[in-house]
């Protein structure tokens, strides 16, 4: 089996998740294209060398420019901080590398469009890291909709609730700074909901949002990691420049109504990434904290036994599940990435665009910005106008 050489830029939380997926692929999907973990790249030479060792990469590098132009690299995987995506992606595309880029594609719609254009011009395969699409329970929801088993769709309700910012002493990490993160809960969590809605329901016609930064100032961090940061005693404070929470309503092109909520201030919710869809023939409910389950309701069930079914999407009837453990045995978060990479490598092998790709990344960015504009202008925004 031919192997594809991977060069990956980024080595923190996402770098770890991607590495783990690359390691799992040949064992659990032996008949697919295999990735070769060639080079891992990051700004801190020592840290990235250590990550290479820990994660199992053949080489490490602190120079992404060299990496993306190496002859022996087939694929560039970008999971560096969001503000670095664009430059790397465009250079890699121009060098003819296939691209897997973490979401959000870029910090602006304009940038993400440039990236798409570069990828398309180069004729390479491109994919964007909306990994939650790849939970078997989510794929089951998609299948039910595509097969018409939920009928006409009336409602999409999505909420991504976390609580790590409820403590006002949590420091001003990079995710709370607009120039690096782009936005807060909106781009980080809301983006996943938006992509999920695109995947399951389709395009949005118009949106209107609201957002808030509940804690305006936070202690400056003494050290900054991917998700955490610690502050010294009596630390100086700096302004939080992103949203703590963003909500919006949407009208989908197919007439369905959408409501979306992303927040880091929902005490008790560690990572509730959840949606509900109501259609004329049935409904589904998903909650990532119980990622192996999908609740499913059908209106044509017998009259006396109608009710939401708790379906464990671990049977062989469910996507990807046959390759893992026996029925009823949960898989974890990490394999949303494994499945995503299966799709990516399959697409390369089959010479087709993977899904979701940069088009989806752009579409997500478009809604993110439409919502932001609607917040500024206090009125509905036609998504297509952006």
Q: Does 297 bind a second copy (CB under 8 A)?
A: yes
Q: Does 303 bind a second copy (CB under 8 A)?
A: yes
What Rg, from alpha-carbon coordinates, does the chain have?
21
Binding residues with a second copy: total (CB under 8 A): 100
Binding mask 106-145 for a second copy (x = CB under 8 A): ----------------------------------x--xx-
Q: For residues 256-285, which are near a second copy according to CB under 8 A? A: 257, 259, 261, 263, 265-272, 278-283
Q: Does 192 bind a second copy (CB under 8 A)?
A: no
How far apart (Å, rounded) are the C-alpha atoms in residues 106 and 156? 26
Closest approach, Cβ 262 to a second copy, in A, equals: 11
Closest approach, Cβ 14 to a second copy, in A, equals: 11
- Closer residue to a second copy in complex, CB, 13/352: 13
What are 260's strand-pairing partners?
158, 248
- Give the rounded distance of the alpha carbon of 95 from its chain centre: 25
Q: For residues 161-190, which are near a second copy according to CB under 8 A? A: 161-164, 166-168
Angle at 211 between CA 161 and CA 363, to 5 degrees: 80
Q: Does 30 bind a second copy (CB under 8 A)?
A: yes
- Give the rounded distance of the alpha carbon of 60 from its chain centre: 25
Contacts of 267 (CB under 8 A, 6+ apart): 163, 166
Contacts of 378 (CB under 8 A, 6+ apart): none
Q: Smallest Cα–Cα separation from 264: which of 377, 164, 378, 158? A: 164
Q: Does 214 bind a second copy (CB under 8 A)?
A: yes
- Give the rounded distance of the alpha carbon of 361 from its chain centre: 9
Q: Does 376 bind a second copy (CB under 8 A)?
A: no
Q: Does 43 bind a second copy (CB under 8 A)?
A: no
Q: Which listed residue (210, 220, 353, 386) binds a second copy by CB under 8 A?
A: 210
Tokens of residue 136, six digits: 């078997």
- Closer residue to a second copy in complex, CB, 95/323: 323
By CB under 8 A, which span of 62-70, 78-86, 186-194, 255-263 interacts with a second copy?
A: 255-263
Closest approach, Cβ 86 to a second copy, in A, equals: 25
How far apart (Å, rounded) are the C-alpha atoms in residues 302 and 179? 55
- Closer residue to a second copy in complex, CB, 132/344: 132
Contacts of 354 (CB under 8 A, 6+ apart): 125, 126, 127, 343, 344, 346, 347, 348
């Amino acid at each position: 089996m031919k192997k594809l050489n991977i060069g990956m830029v980024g080595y923190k939380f996402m770098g770890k998740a991607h590495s783990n997926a690359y390691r799992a692929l040949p064992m659990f999907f032996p008949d697919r294209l295999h990735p070769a973990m060639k080079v891992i790249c990051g700004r801190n030479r020592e840290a990235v060398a250590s990550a290479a060792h820990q994660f199992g990469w053949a080489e490490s590098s602190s120079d992404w420019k060299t990496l993306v132009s190496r002859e022996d690299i087939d694929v560039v995987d970008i999971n560096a901080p969001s503000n670095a995506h664009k430059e790397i992606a465009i250079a890699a595309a121009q060098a003819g590398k296939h691209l897997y880029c973490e979401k959000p594609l870029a910090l602006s719609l304009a940038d993400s469009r440039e990236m798409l254009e570069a990828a398309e011009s180069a004729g390479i395969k491109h994919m964007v890291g909306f990994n939650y699409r790849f939970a078997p329970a989510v794929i089951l929801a998609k299948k039910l909709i595509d097969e018409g088993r939920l009928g006409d769709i009336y409602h999409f309700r999505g909420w991504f609730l976390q609580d790590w910012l409820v403590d006002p002493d949590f420091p001003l990490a990079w995710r709370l700074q607009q120039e690096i993160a782009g936005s807060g809960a909106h781009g980080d969590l809301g983006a996943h909901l938006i992509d999920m809605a695109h995947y399951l329901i389709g395009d949005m016609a118009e949106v209107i949002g609201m957002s808030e930064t509940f804690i305006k100032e936070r202690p400056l961090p003494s050290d900054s990691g991917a998700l955490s940061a610690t502050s010294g005693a009596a630390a100086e404070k700096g302004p939080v420049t992103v949203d703590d929470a963003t909500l919006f309503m949407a009208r989908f092109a197919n007439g369905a109504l959408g409501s979306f909520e992303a927040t880091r201030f929902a005490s008790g919710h560690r990572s509730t990434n959840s949606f509900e869809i109501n259609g004329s023939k049935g409904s589904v409910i998903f909650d990532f904290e119980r990622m192996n389950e999908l609740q499913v309701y059908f209106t044509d069930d017998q009259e006396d036994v109608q009710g939401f079914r708790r379906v464990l999407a671990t049977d062989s009837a469910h996507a990807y599940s046959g390759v893992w453990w026996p029925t009823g045995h949960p898989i974890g978060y990490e394999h949303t990435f494994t499945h995503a990479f299966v799709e990516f490598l399959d697409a390369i092998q089959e010479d087709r665009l993977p899904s979701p790709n940069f088009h989806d990344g752009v579409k997500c960015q478009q809604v993110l910005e439409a919502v932001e504009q609607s917040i500024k202008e206090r009125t509905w925004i036609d998504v297509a106008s952006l």
